Amino acid sequence: MNFPTFVTHGDGAMVYCELNDVKTTFDTFETLPGGDEWPEGTPLFAGQVGCAEFRDLRLEPVGWLDGTDHMQWLAPEKCESVKKCLPRPVPLLAVTQHRATGIAHTAIVEKMPKGEFPAEAITFAGHGDVDRAMTTLCHELIFAGEHNVVIGPPSGDRGVSLVFGFSEEIIGSFELDVTTPAGVVVDFGYAEALSDNGRMKVCRNRDPLDYHLADRLTTREGRQTLGTSILQRGFRYVEVVFRHLTGSVILHRVVAVDRRYPATMAGTFFCSDMLLNRIWGVCAETLGACTTDVFTDCPWRERAFWVNDFMVENPAALHLFGDYRMNAHALSLAFSNRRDDGLIPGVVPYSGGPNLVLPATDLQLALIVHDYYWYSGDLETTRKLIPELLKTLKFFHRRIGRNDLISPPVGTWNFVDWAYELSGLRFGDKHTSLLNFFYVMACDAAAELLEATGSSVNSVKTWRRHAEKVRKALRLRFRTPDGIYSDFLQEDGTPSRQASELGQALATLSGTELQRPERPGLLVPELYMHYFLLKQFQREHHAQEGLRRLRRYWGDIVRTGTPTLWEAGVWTHGSAAFGGFGSLCHGFSCSPLIFCHTALLGVRPLEPGFRRFSVDPDFGDLEFARGGIPTPNGIIQIRWERNSHGSVTLELNVPFGLTAVTPFGECGSGFHRLCWTI
Tens of pLDDT, residues 60-92:
887 777 777 777 777 666 555 555 667 889 999
DSSP code at position 619: -
- What value does the mean pLDDT take over residues 102-109? 90
* Contact by Cβ (8 Å): 324, 608: no
pLDDT digits (tens, 9 = 90+) for 224-274: 999 998 889 999 999 999 999 999 999 999 999 999 999 999 999 999 999
- pLDDT-derived band at 171 (thresholds 50, 70, 90) equals very high
SS3 609: helix
pLDDT of residue 610: 98
CATH top class, domain 324-523: mainly alpha
* Contact by Cβ (8 Å): 415, 360: yes
How many CA atoms does the CB half-sphere of 487 hold within 13 Å?
21
Task: Locate the DSSP E strands across 567-620.
Answer: 603-605, 612-615
pLDDT digits (tens, 9 = 90+) for 655-667: 999 999 999 999 9
Average pLDDT score, the chain? 91
Please list, in sequence order, all residues whose beta carbon lies within 8 angstroms of the beta carbon of residue 48, skipping any fewer than 6 positions away. Answer: 5, 6, 7, 301, 302, 303, 304, 347
- pLDDT-derived band at 30 (thresholds 50, 70, 90) equals low
- pLDDT-derived band at 1 (thresholds 50, 70, 90) equals very low
pLDDT of residue 579: 87
* Contact by Cβ (8 Å): 602, 627: no
Q: State residue 186 phi and psi, 5-degree precision.
A: -120, 115
- pLDDT-derived band at 502 (thresholds 50, 70, 90) equals very high
pLDDT of residue 80: 58
Percent of the chain with pLDDT over 90: 75
pTM above threshold 0.75: yes
pLDDT digits (tens, 9 = 90+) for 436-449: 999 999 999 999 99
Select the more confidently predicted residue: 549 or 39: 549
Superfamily of domain 613-677: Maltose phosphorylase, domain 3 (2.60.420.10)
Percent of the chain with pLDDT over 70: 93
With a cut of 80, say whether residue 210 has pLDDT above it.
yes
Please tell me the total number of residues recorded for the chain in this structure. Answer: 678
pLDDT of residue 13: 47
Please list, in sequence order, all residues whose beta carbon lies within 8 angstroms of the beta carbon of residue 507, skipping any fewer than 6 positions away. Answer: 433, 437, 474, 485, 513, 516, 517
pLDDT digits (tens, 9 = 90+) for 623-656: 999 999 999 999 999 999 999 888 999 999 999 9
Residue 368 CA to residue 382 CA, distance in Å, equals 11
Q: How far, in whole angstroms, is CA 357 from its chain's centroid? A: 18
The CATH code belonging to domain 94-260 is 2.60.120.260
DSSP code at position 143: S
Q: Say if residue 162 is exposed, middle or buried (CB neighbours under 10 Å; 0-12, 13-18, 19+).
A: buried
Domain segments of the chain as ranges: 94-260, 268-305+526-593, 324-523, 613-677
